[in-house]
Amino acid sequence: MRNSARKQSHNRGVHSRLHTLERGYLQLLQTGKKEEAAQSLRQLSSAFDKAVKSGVVHRATANRKKSRLALRLGAAK
């Protein structure tokens, strides 16, 4: 039970960080700051890759999210 609680706490923190980074990226896109959004996307992609490496997020899920977020950057004006 202690292991499960420890792993759950770690996973929750990773998911929370990913969600926060994603919200910040989308907010930058909405305000039209494309250069800063591109930098944010690099950080977000790195965070997704690290989450995959530690087993928190499935590889296909991370790849799908990174792809869709990159498409949004390309479609931004």
Total domain count, the chain: 1
**Domain interval for residue 48:** 2-75
The SS3 of residue 21 is helix
Pairwise pLDDT comparison (76 vs 17), residue with the higher score: 17
Q: pTM of the predicted model, to two decimals?
A: 0.89
What CATH code is carried by the domain that includes residue 15?
Answer: 1.20.58.110
Handedness of CA 43, 38, 72, 66 (dihedral sign): negative
6-48 tens-digit pLDDT: 999 999 999 999 999 999 999 999 999 999 999 999 999 999 9
